[in-house]
């Protein structure tokens, strides 16, 4: 698991180049937003349970077929597993937010997730919708705490959505 700085330096080291203006600008942006990213992570951590609960409620309101007989969140066990997974996505999005890099998402969340869900007959589409709902709720919660959200807040969620997205959501 790497942060934005170690990823950037590794890429330049592999190619044997000095840091150029683009690299310096990326580092500058990383450090300028560092304190804000940590503040946002603090707000997310303090509200994680409520965020997951609210996102789950909205997901099941938007896609009620998930909690009807035969739906993938029908039964208490499956419902709880869905909320557990949403908590998992939120926690790792927070790690990526602090690191300023999506590497942790690739390594710990996305690698093999599609295959796992397919083998368990878990539809990916509602997962993507749920991550989008979490993103919106996180942005609202962070903004309500007086922190101006930026692209840095969207990045982890957008990365998961992009990597998992299907056309049949």
Per residue in 47-92, pLDDT tens?
A: 999 999 999 999 999 999 999 999 999 999 999 999 999 999 999 9
In tens, the pLDDT along 33-47 reads 999 999 999 999 999
**Residue 76 is encoded by which pair of tokens?**
């208490």
Q: Please report which confidence band the pLDDT of residue 166 belongs to, taking 50, 70 and 90 as the band edges.
A: low
Q: Report percent pLDDT > 70 for the chain.
A: 98
Q: In the chain, helix, strand, coil percent, each to 5? A: 80, 0, 20
Tell whether the model's pLDDT for residue 169 goes beyond 60.
no
- DSSP H helices in 63-150: 76-99, 103-105, 113-119, 124-144
pTM of the predicted model as reported, rounded to 2 decimal places: 0.90
């Amino acid at each position: 698991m790497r942060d934005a700085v170690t990823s950037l330096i590794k890429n330049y080291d592999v190619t044997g180049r000095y840091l150029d203006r683009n690299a310096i600008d990326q580092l500058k942006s990383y450090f300028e937003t560092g304190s804000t990213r940590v503040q946002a992570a603090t707000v997310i951590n303090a509200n994680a349970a409520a965020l997951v609960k609210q996102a789950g409620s909205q997901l099941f309101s938007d896609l009620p077929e998930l909690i009807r007989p035969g739906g993938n969140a029908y039964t208490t066990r499956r419902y709880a597993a869905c909320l557990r997974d949403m908590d998992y996505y939120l926690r790792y999005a927070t790690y990526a937010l602090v690191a300023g890099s999506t590497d942790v998402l690739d390594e710990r969340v996305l690698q093999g997730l599609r295959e796992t869900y397919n083998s368990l007959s878990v539809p990916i589409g509602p997962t993507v919708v749920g991550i989008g709902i979490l993103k919106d709720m996180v942005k609202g919660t962070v903004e309500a705490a007086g922190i101006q959200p930026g692209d840095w807040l969207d990045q982890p969620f957008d990365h998961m959505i992009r990597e998992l997205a299907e056309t049949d959501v």
